[in-house]
Structure 1
Amino acid sequence: MFLSALTRLGRVRVTLGYTAALVAVATALLLLGPHVREQVIRHASTNLRNLGDGRVGTLIGSAFVNEAGPIYVWLPGLMALLALAELLWRSRRLVVAFAIGHVGATLVVAAGMAAAVGVGLLSVSIVDVTDVGMSYGALAVLGTLTAAIPRPWRAVWTGWWLAVAIGSAASSQGDFTNVGHAIALVIGMLVGARFGHPAHWTTARYGLLAVAAAFGYMIMAYTPLSLVVTSTLGVVGAATAYRITRWRTARRALEAAPLPEPAV
């Protein structure tokens, strides 16, 4: 029984390891006080100041430092998401998806901000705005689940999340992080398409999917405006994808149907 439990835990070893690291860092920063916490966040941030100074280590360190409120509020949702992805894709692919999404979205956002500052669209003060956390990597992992969703519902899932991503970015009101969330989700979808066939689904995994989806949605929609915009666009996107799928299915059925024999 003990060996069986260890075997099950071994299937989500990356999830457990990353969770332990997040808890350890959060606990240490809490004990060290707000002043040290602010210094650590500033040092680990992937803002333009640090990246411009060549501190590429922030691309990794920023994923272990968070300023998104108490860790006990969002950690269960993150664990559900990562555990599900690790069970479906295995540990190595989970790490690949998280890393590519986190680093890729960070660099794309940084490049866009640098260009905007250069042409005067953004204030120079934005170079010092802190940017830490696990949200880019988490949403990339959520994006990879698109390839694992059962085919009858995959189009609806894709339509919903793409529309939510657009709505989140559009309602960002100058918050570049929401744009990064949308980019990370799309990166995850592209990466997941290369992963092949996932492991089989079970009732427990569908339960994890529900928690993971709710967690991902709350990352992207956390203001009243974004909740209204993303939910509305999400429904429209899902309905549109469903109609397109039905139309394509009906068209294939017509094309496959035998032609009537000519009357003699």
Structure 2
Amino acid sequence: MTGSILRRAPGAAWRYLRAAPGTFVWLAVLLATTRLVHHFPPGFRDRFLEHRSTNVHNLWRTPVRVLVASALYLDGGGWPLYFVLYNLFHVPVERWLGTWRWLGVAAVAHVGATYLSEGLVLLAVRTGYAPHSALFTRDIGVSYALAGVQGALTHRLPRPWRYGYLACLLGVYGFALAADRTFTGVGHLTAALLGLACVPAARWSARRYGTRRPRSDDRTAAG
């Protein structure tokens, strides 16, 4: 039996990877960039990441470049943790919605939460509640996209589990914001809400235009 399992394992692993190609390509890119940045001297590493940060200054000058670049790096590493989180959240959502709709949800959460949170930073600077240096605060990573996908996953869960999951999700991000009132706390909560709101539109698109529709068990789970 052990030999049979070992023979089937490569095929099962390949089917698992192929069912969510976008997630694993993204993870591969993050692994490569994390290893690359790890070998930079500390001073150069800071300048390198600041150049790819979605702070107010960079969003004003090169918005598209930094919005894309910031989603390709992990500030401070932690790739093994994100490998686990991507498998828990990104993989099921990509398999459910399809790669392009999953990517759309992640992009809406990433871009929307970034602009809202950094807009609050700009407002705080202009009204004197934050120093001018806040316009250059480093903001880089994939956590907004992850929070958006976590919000989207709510619609994939059957009742009544979805309500408990949603309460936990919003409770975690809401508590984090209340405990430490920073722009990233605003961004994470906003991203989760954006992901939650995106799925009805994505499901309508799948039914109306998509070539890959949710399976019958997916429709039942989504309610």
Shorter-chain TM range is: 0.7 to 0.9
Judged with a 3 Å threshold, the aligned counterparts in structure 2 of structure 1 residues 37 and 172 are, in CA distance, closer, same or farther, namely same
Q: Give yes or no for contact 1:172–1:179 (8 Å, CA) kept in 2.
A: no
TM-score, normalised to structure 2, is: 0.81
C-alpha displacement of 1:198 = 4.8
* Deviations 1:168-227 (CA, angstroms, capped at 9, x unpaired): 211124x211110000000000002223385547xxxxxxxxxxxxxxxxxxxxxxxxxx
Alignment correspondent of 1:84: 92
Partner of 1:179: 186
- Structure 2 residue aligned with 1:9, among 14, 17, 27? 17
The residue identity in structure 2 corresponding to 1:77 is: L
**Structure 1 residue 153, shift from structure 2 partner:** 2.2
Report the CA distance between 1:18 and its aligned residue.
Answer: 0.3
Contact 2:120 2:183 in 1 (8 A): no
Structure 2 Cα separation of the partners of residues 13 and 4 of structure 1: 14
Q: For 1:43-74, what per-residue CA distance to the aligned partner results, in whole angstroms no more than 9, with x for missing partners? A: 10001111122343101110111114432243
Deviation at 1:134, TM superposition (A): 0.4
Contact 2:89–2:153 (CA under 8 A) maintained in structure 1: no
Aligned Cα RMSD in Å? 2.1
Give, in whole Å, the separation in 2 of the partners of 1:69 and 1:83: 21
Residues 1:70 and 2:78 are matched in the alignment: yes
- Give, in angstroms, the shift of residue 3 of structure 1: 6.3
Measured against aligned partners, the alpha-carbon deviations of 1:63-119 in whole angstroms (never above 9, x if no partner) come to: 111114432243322333211211222211211111110011001111111112111
Check the 8 A contact 1:102/1:184 in 2, yes or no: yes
What are structure 2's unaligned runs of at least 5 residues? Answer: 1-7, 204-212, 219-223
The whole-number CA distance in structure 1 between the counterparts of 2:80 and 2:162 is 31
Structure 1 residues 77 and 17, CA gap change in structure 2 (3 angstroms) = same
| Structure 2 residue 129 is matched with structure 1 residue 121 | yes
Does structure 2 conserve the Cα–Cα contact (< 8 Å) formed by 1:68 and 1:133?
no
User: After superposition, where does 1:33-112 map in structure 2 within 5 Å?
Assistant: 33-112=41-120
Q: Partner residue of 1:209?
A: none
Query: What is the aligned-residue identity percentage?
Result: 28
Shift of 1:161: 2.4
State the structure with more CA Rg: 1
Question: What is the DSSP-based 3-state SS (H/G/I as helix, E as strand, rest coil) of the residue aligned with 2:39?
Answer: helix
Give yes or no for contact 2:152–2:197 (8 Å, CA) kept in 1: yes
* Unpaired stretches in structure 1, ≥5 consecutive residues: 202-264
With normalisation by structure 1, the TM-score equals 0.69
Query: Residue 243 of structure 1 aligns with which residue?
Result: none
Give distance in 2, aligned partners of 1:110 and 1:85.
27
Paired residues, what number? 200
- Residue 4 of structure 1, CA deviation: 6.3
- After TM superposition, give the deviation of residue 9 of structure 1 in Å: 2.2
> Residues 79 and 4 of structure 1: is their aligned pair in 2 closer, same or farther, counting only changes over 3 Å?
closer
Change (3 A) 1:186 1:55: closer
Question: Which sits farther off after the overlay, 25-34 or 134-143?
Answer: 25-34
| Amino acid corresponding to residue 180 of structure 2 in structure 1 | S
Return the alpha-carbon distance in structure 2 between the equivalents of residues 74 and 154 of structure 1. 23
Write out the 4+ residue segments of structure 1 that deviate beyond 3 Å after TM superposition: 1-8, 197-201
1:125 CA displacement: 1.4
SS at match of 2:160: helix
